[in-house]
Amino acid sequence: MEKNIQKKVQVVIIGGKSLNKLLLLQMKEDRGELWQNVTGSVDEGEDFIEAAHRELLEETGLSGELEELDVQFKFKDRWERNVLEKVFVAKVNGEQQVKISDEEHQDYKWIPLDQVTEENFGYKSNFKSFLESLKKLS
């Protein structure tokens, strides 16, 4: 892999008592107030799965079983860096309390899986990741 590639993770969070809801986070006003899955950078010395666990905990206060999906994205970020983003699905116990990181996000919501549409997401890649997570869960 090229050295100048920024490694990132995206985590689709499925929860609820019978894994029947999706958790979305709303970015702060200065980042467009878009709704998204958990996303974040892979830190020096981390692999993708370690970064996914850390970002899940940092951004939501949740922990859960993570599984890598067979989907990844290559794009340029807002600083024009080349990014490789690998996607994971997290299955979380419905009894855990969500504690969003107020550095990046201003709100969160749980949506029943059968009511999720592309319009719920600020980025098409997040919706595609959601659809791939449903395949993994079935």
- The more confidently predicted of residues 93 and 30 is 30
- Residue-number span of the structural domain to which 55 is assigned: 5-137
Q: What is the pLDDT of residue 53?
A: 97
CB burial of 76-107 (b: ≥16 within 10 Å; e: otherwise) equals eeeeeeeebbbbbbbbbeeeeebebeeebbee
| Domains in the chain, number | 1
Range 46-68 average pLDDT:
96
Q: Domain with 11 in it: what CATH number? A: 3.90.79.10
Percent of the chain with pLDDT over 90: 84
Q: What is the pLDDT of residue 3?
A: 65
User: Which residues lie below 8 Å from residue 36, measured CB to CB, with a gap of 6+?
Assistant: 24, 25, 26, 27, 121, 122, 123, 126
